[in-house]
Amino acid sequence: MKNYNIALMPGDGTGPEVLDEGVKVLDAVCAKFGVKMNYTSYDFGGERYMKTGETLPDSGVEELKKHDAIFLGAIGHPDVKPGILELGILLKLRFALDQYINLRPVKLYPNVETPLKDKGPEHIDFVVVRENSGGIYTGMGGATMVGTQNEIATQVMCYSRPVVERCIRYAYDLTRKRNKKNLLTLVHKCNVLTNVGDLWVRTHQEVGDADYKDIKQDYNHVDACTMWMVKSPEFYDVIVTSNLFGDIITDLGAMIQGGMGIAAGGNINPEGVSMFEPIGGSAPKYTGQNIINPMAAICSAAMMLDTLGETEAAAVIDKAVNDALASGKIKSLSAGRMGMSTTEVGDFVVSLI
């Protein structure tokens, strides 16, 4: 029997509720495939920070590193100043575990309402590969004369060839694996960011020309990309982009696929320990009411299985999610308007496995 050690980080707000449903679905599919998950739960998050003043100690990172994967609910607490938990937990883990890919599928399931007029599941099915370890997120730069009339601040978008190349290679491999349009679109802003943009453009071209002749190459400026995502999302198969641009366009992506309730993400180190999370956040106002949508957590669980190599089990979850939504029994993806409780949605998906 296959065995995996999974670190659970329920976190804050509705994180624990959605994670429970993700685990429920994982357990159901694992039972079917003879896979065993050993879970260990960690309480890193806002509550713990308020009690102890500690976000994620280095010893915590070492603990988490020992697992095959990390499954996260949500980090974010209304009583903690913005930035502390994000930097201290989420970004710290991404960097410490070198989770250099942030994988964010944008897929419209049947019967899910999109704000895009005349677009259906056949138009919205692409994946954003967001570089997750470099760029502006490294915090390089500084500030001087702070608080004076002449204050100067910089935050540097820095990328090295190896960091760009490993991301682009991952994206090409994924495009090939999907085997859909076989099209990899680089999204950047090379008309203005002539140094770092040029590095991305050349790497995309050189790697593609050398090793991925079967994959078509395309390029969009990031501003144009937001336009095409709304106007013609069917253009896209796989998008690869830098950290900040990926952050921004994947919130747009989440909206066109029906909202944060269904948007899943993976912080992936293909050679190491990856972390999976619904990207919607902790939604504090819905905490404890059993009304939050757990679909994003369930889809993240599928991504976790896929990354662990349990591709069939992952596909079974994806199909169950698809069937659950296609049934029309879930009225909306928004919290409180699903016509079902959080736990009922989990049970419903399990019943389809």
Residues of this chain that bind Mn ion (CB under 5 A): 247
- At its nearest, how many Å lie between ligand IPM and the CB of residue 226? 16
**SS3 per-residue string spanning the chain:** CEEEEEEEEEECCCHHHHHHHHHHHHHHHHHHHCEEEEEEECCCCHHHHHHHCCCCCHHHHHHHHCCCEEEEEECCCCCCCCCHHHHHHHHHHHHHCCCCEEEEEEECCCCCCCCCCCCCCCCCEEEEEEECCCEHHHCCEEEECCCCCCCEEEECCECCHHHHHHHHHHHHHHHHHHCCCCEEEEEECCCCCCCHHHHHHHHHHHHHHHHCCCCEEEEEEHHHHHHHHHHCHHHCCEEEECHHHHHHHHHHHHHHCCCHHHCEEEEECCCCCEEEEECCCCCHHHCCCCCCCCHHHHHHHHHHHHHHCCHHHHHHHHHHHHHHHHCCCCCCCCCCCCCCCHHHHHHHHHHCC
The residue among 99 and 342 lying less far from ligand IPM, judged by its C-beta, is 99
Please report how close the Cβ of residue 281 comes to ligand IPM at its closest, in angstroms: 8
State the minimum distance, in angstroms, from the CB of residue 265 to ligand IPM.
7
Q: In whole angstroms, how close is the CB of 244 to Mn ion at the nearest point?
A: 10
Nearest-approach distance from CB 247 to ligand IPM, in angstroms = 4
- Least distance from ligand IPM to the Cβ atom of residue 89, Å: 10
Q: Which is nearer to ligand IPM, 91 or 158 (CB)?
A: 91
| Closer residue to ligand IPM (CB): 121 or 281 | 281
Q: How far is the CB of 86 from ligand IPM (least distance, A)?
A: 4
What residue type is 96 in one-letter code? A
Binding partner of 21, given ligand IPM, Mn ion, none, CB within 5-8 angstroms per partner class: none
Instruction: Give which of ligand IPM, Mn ion, none residue 91 binds (C-beta under 5 to 8 Å, depending on kind).
Output: ligand IPM
Q: Residues interacting with ligand IPM, by CB under 6 A?
A: 86, 90-91, 247, 279
Q: Choose between 55 and 267: whose C-beta lies nearer to Mn ion.
A: 267
**Sign of torsion over alpha carbons 5, 11, 16, 21:** negative
Residue identified by tokens 């399990």 is: 350
Residue nearest to ligand IPM (CB): 86
Name the minimum Å distance from CB 257 to Mn ion: 15
Q: Which one of Mn ion, ligand IPM, none interacts with residue 125, CB within 5 to 8 A by kind?
A: none
86 binds, among Mn ion, ligand IPM, none (CB under 5 to 8 A by kind): ligand IPM
Binding partner of residue 165 among Mn ion, ligand IPM, none, CB cut-off 5 to 8 Å per kind: none
Nearer residue to ligand IPM within complex by CB, 264 or 330: 264
In the complex with ligand IPM, which residue's Cβ is closer, 128 or 164? 128
User: How does 31-44 read in b/e, with b if 16+ C-beta sit within 10 Å?
Assistant: eeeebebeeeebeb
User: CB under 5 to 8 A by kind: which of ligand IPM, Mn ion, none does 90 bind?
Assistant: ligand IPM
193 binds, among Mn ion, ligand IPM, none (CB under 5 to 8 A by kind): none
Q: Which residue is nearest to Mn ion (CB)?
A: 247
Residue 332 CA to its chain's centroid (Å): 22
Instruction: Work out what residue 186 binds among ligand IPM, Mn ion, none; the CB cut-off runs from 5 to 8 Å by kind.
Output: none
Residue closer to ligand IPM (CB basis): 254 or 340: 254
Sequence length of the chain is: 353
Closer of 131 and 247 to ligand IPM (Cβ): 247
Contact 189, 245 (CB under 8 A): yes
